[in-house]
Amino acid sequence: DAMVIQNPRYQVTQFGKPVTLSCSQTLNHNVMYWYQQKSSQAPKLLFHYYDKDFNNEADTPDNFQSRRPNTSFCFLDIRSPGLGDAAMYLCATSRDLNRAFFGQGTRLTVV
Amino acid sequence: AQTVTQSQPEMSVQEAETVTLSCTYDTSESDYYLFWYKQPPSRQMILVIRQEAYKQQNATENRFSVNFQKAAKSFSLKISDSQLGDAAMYFCAYRTPAGNQFYFGTGTSLTVIP
């Protein structure tokens, strides 16, 4: 059974057109993460929520925003996607200091 | 900021043989967690093994074991009796004890040769 679900698996958006990626979890974990992973690179942490507390990484561009309306859902909003934002976006969850569970990712293409 | 370094971009191993993937990290913390994650071509990250820094005993999970050298800040993964299904990208990760962030290395692509 899928525990961390990302929709859609593949997303194509136009340059400059806002796009939202979604993540949901059935684990009731209190921490949710968004990572950006470009080809052959390490996943790069963009931000995470600890419960309702939002924690932004210092080098995350302002173009990236996130919302967590409830425990189960977390959204990644890219306000004005550029060609450089094309990547795989990974959502993960964890409970406190335990392992992170990852979704299958959303592959974003910017045209 | 914490950094995680994997100095081997690519490794290969013969099926049924043993391979060791290297990882070093930099931190000023004394308590933290270390992980090895596997990312097959399907792209879903899967936990392989984890190690708590306060534990001296090296973690073991079936064919996977680690060599944790805290003073050297080294955390290598040994895969014994390698199988074709072990072929994947392997990421070493560090977790801050209080900040909840996971930091990943750049990965090692493991090929298993039949």
Domain positions in chain A: 4-110
CB contact (8 A) between residue A33 and residue B102: yes
Residue B107, chain A, CB below 8 Å: the answer is: yes
Q: What is the C-alpha separation between A98 and B50, in angstroms, rounded?
A: 9
Tell me which chain B residues have a C-beta less than 8 angstroms from the C-beta of A33. Answer: 101-102
Lowest mean pLDDT among A66-80, B28-42, B77-91: B28-42
The larger pLDDT score, comparing residue B45 to residue B23, is at: B23
Q: Average pLDDT in the B65-92 region?
A: 96
CB contact (8 A) between residue B47 and residue A99: yes
Task: Indicate if the pLDDT at residue A81 is higher than 90.
Answer: yes
Confidence of residue A14 (pLDDT cuts 50, 70, 90): very high
Q: Name the residue among B44, B100, B105 with its Cβ closest to that of A42.
A: B105
Task: Indicate if the pLDDT at residue B114 is higher than 60.
Answer: yes
Task: Indicate if the pLDDT at residue B96 is higher than 90.
Answer: no
pLDDT at res. A2: 66
Q: What is the C-alpha separation between A29 and A68, in angstroms, rounded?
A: 13
Tell me which chain A residues have a C-beta less than 8 angstroms from the C-beta of B37. Answer: 102
Task: Indicate if the pLDDT at residue A80 is higher than 60.
Answer: yes
CB contact (8 A) between residue A97 and residue B95: yes
Q: Average pLDDT in the B7-21 region?
A: 96
Q: Coil, strand or helix: which one is B86?
A: helix
Could you read off the pLDDT of A41-53 as tens digits, one per residue?
889 999 999 899 9
Confidence of residue B2 (pLDDT cuts 50, 70, 90): low
Domain boundaries, chain B: 3-113
Decide yes or no: CATH 2.60.40.10 for domain B3-113.
yes
Q: What is the C-alpha separation between B93 and B106, in angstroms, rounded?
A: 10
**Summary mean pLDDT of chain A:** 92
| Residue A20 CB coordination number (10 Å) | 12
Residue among A37, A32, A24 at smallest CA distance from A52: A32
Q: Average pLDDT in the B70-86 region?
A: 96
Residue among B55, B33, B70 at smallest CA distance from A96: B33
Indicate the residue type of A83.
Answer: L
The most confident of A92-96, B54-58, B66-70, by mean pLDDT: B66-70
**Beta strands per DSSP E along chain A:** 4-7, 10-13, 19-25, 31-37, 44-50, 53-56, 64-67, 73-78, 87-94, 101-102, 106-110
Angstrom CA distances, B9 to A43, A97, B21, B39, B42, stand at: 15, 28, 10, 14, 19
Q: Which fold has domain A4-110?
A: Immunoglobulin-like (2.60.40)
Nearest C-alpha in A relative to B106: A42
